[in-house]
Structure 1
Amino acid sequence: MDDRSLAALGFADVPAARPLTYPGRPVTAPTLLIGGELWDLEPAPGRLGTWPAGGPSREPLDALLTRLGQAPTGERHPVIAVGSNASPAQLHHKLTRPDRPAVVPMVPVEVDGIAVGCSAHIGRYGYVASAPYTAPGTRTPLVVSWLDAAQLRAVDATEHPNYRRILLPGADFPMVLPSGERLGGGYLYVGVRGVLVSPDATATATPLPGGGDQSALLTRLLAASRRLRALLGPDPHTWVSRAGADPTIRKEGSQVFQDEGWALPQPAFLRYLEDETTGPAEPRGYDVLSALR
């Protein structure tokens, strides 16, 4: 039988352990993360739970999940990844416990109206993570993971306090699966400090593209700010080493982004924030709702 381990398939790098590999390698085809392995999912008309999955038997995904003692897709929550959550290695790192291996369907999805930038903060591992921004007319390939309730809480804990989870409706931001069908909506983590703009922009605030080479990004930011060089320089390796070890330095570095005028707020996301007094909506079964016409 083929070796389906993350390492054998080229997904060994975990950004939490190796910050300069951020955002990690994303999946590019429908797959089921199961423990430390990746199993194929075959796109088919209809709901995700009916897609053939797993080994030679190619049983429907929901049947496989049930047989493994896992929540079926109708009890899971679709979460759109713009950064390292699209990496199965990072999700495996975040979600796996000694008595509970991570089992997560992960599906590439085309999302309209959203692009990937860089969050205007320095994350707990020292890297500058990705964050979404609104971009009308743009279609971006992203990854949606279907998380059970415990997994959603675990990912929430890794995103707080630098991100807020919103419920993004498919009616406003169309989301198309590889089967050609549309997703009704999904959760999205948005940066509370906005996204970084190009430090050398002169007239317009142009968001820096996210999801690229982390070393190149940090080098560019260091070159643009004397304060960052003094705090985190002279190079990306020193940056992630210092920032990853000291929350005070991360806070100071994030403040430099604000002081330099590089942080671009994303107020358009505010309308999708949930009422914190009643708790988040629970879009269980928020799956493929209608065929794309």
Structure 2
Amino acid sequence: MPQDRSLAALGLDVVPALHPLTYPGRPVPGPSLLTGEELLPLGVRPLPLGQWHVAGRPLDEVLAGRGLASIGGRHPVMAVGSNASPAQVAYKLLRRGLSPVVPMVPVRVRGIAVGCSAHIGRAGYVAAAPCLDPAAETSLVVSWLDQDQFRAVDETEFPNYRRALIPGDDFGLTMPSGERLDGASLYVGVRGVLADPGTGLPRPGGGHQATLLASLLDASPRLRDLLGPCPASWVRKAAAERAVRESGTRIFAEEGWDLRQPGLSPYGDGAVGL
């Protein structure tokens, strides 16, 4: 019998925007074509992505059969947070009336690590943000978005992120096939990333949201007064009121935890929110 490739059957159907303590959600486990409710495996070949196979047919042919843009007409966008989650990507696109069909591929990246953005997002969680780390080698999911999808994802990231264009030569963007990408877009936190109070280095992101929020509450009496006593109260209060989110974000800065990432500035294209 054919395997059930629904997001629910694969355990990938939880949307972080709706369940903030699950942030960043579960990423795609391998090269895949998201169709909305399903995640179809992409067969890696020593060929350009459009010629990889899905269900026995070239990816570009499958996309064309749905009346959608081929890989050559799409924008590669790298995720450090919930944009690696197929459920989150489908949710963002479907609620805007757009096609949820998106090729998603884990790509090896040098020099970029995952940190925590120095702001509190609309859903109440503290989202991920990239930070420079010359020693890092990370697997980050790249999604190929058509023009409408690209514009919609931009809107979901504004005003807390700006889009940067990361060149493949500088960061070694390598596909599972061994092909090197020319570049990919990446959303960079406008307030920088959270610093670890003990070391002054970027606080690692990508872990359990509840653990992160509990640590931040323990480190700041002002955050406990505003958002405590626990992670569940944090996301509930933050999601309910913009003023609370803004106050919490301001406390991050006043505690001296916002660590800017000027090294990423030369790659910015300034496109988000324009």
State the match for 1:248 in structure 2: 243
Q: What is the distance in 1 between the residues matched to 2:213 and 2:206?
A: 13
Cα 1:212–1:2 change in 2 (3 A) is same
Displacement of 1:275:
5.5
Mark the runs of 5 or more structure 1 residues left unpaired by the alignment.
280-293
Displacement of 1:99:
5.6
Q: Does 1:45 align with 2:46?
A: yes
Displacement of 1:205:
1.3
* Residue type of the alignment partner of 1:241: R
The 4+ residue runs of structure 1 with deviation greater than 2 A are: 97-101
Cα 1:129–1:166 change in 2 (3 A) is same
Match of 2:124 among 122, 126, 129: 126
Q: Does 1:16 align with 2:17?
A: yes
Q: What is the distance in 2 between the residues matched to 1:97 and 1:244?
A: 18
Q: What is the distance in 1 between the residues matched to 2:149 and 2:37?
A: 16
TM-score normalised by L of structure 1: 0.90
Q: Report if aligned partners of 2:166, 2:184 keep a CA contact under 8 Å in 1.
A: yes
Cα 1:275–1:248 change in 2 (3 A) is closer
Q: What is the distance in 1 between the residues matched to 2:257 and 2:270?
A: 29
Q: What is the distance in 2 between the residues matched to 1:62 and 1:264?
A: 42
State the match for 1:102 in structure 2: 100
Q: What is the distance in 2 between the residues matched to 1:117 and 1:23?
A: 12
Cα 1:30–1:272 change in 2 (3 A) is same
Q: What is the distance in 2 between the residues matched to 1:22 and 1:14?
A: 8
Q: What is the distance in 2 between the residues matched to 1:98 and 1:208?
A: 33
Q: What is the distance in 2 between the residues matched to 1:99 and 1:246?
A: 26
* Residue type of the alignment partner of 2:108: E
Q: Report if aligned partners of 2:166, 2:185 keep a CA contact under 8 Å in 1.
A: yes
Mark the runs of 5 or more structure 2 residues left unpaired by the alignment.
none
Match of 2:222 among 222, 227, 246: 227
Displacement of 1:137:
2.3
Cα 1:275–1:100 change in 2 (3 A) is closer
TM-score normalised by L of structure 2: 0.96
State the match for 1:147 in structure 2: 145
* Residue type of the alignment partner of 2:9: A
In the TM superposition, 1:1-293 aligns within 5 A as 1-53=2-54, 55=55, 58-97=56-95, 100-199=98-197, 201=198, 204-274=199-269
Q: What is the distance in 2 between the residues matched to 1:70 and 1:192?
A: 33
Displacement of 1:101:
3.6
Q: Report if aligned partners of 2:227, 2:237 keep a CA contact under 8 Å in 1.
A: yes
Q: CA RMSD in A?
A: 1.2
Count of matched residue positions in the alignment of Structure 1 and Structure 2: 271
Percent identity, please: 59
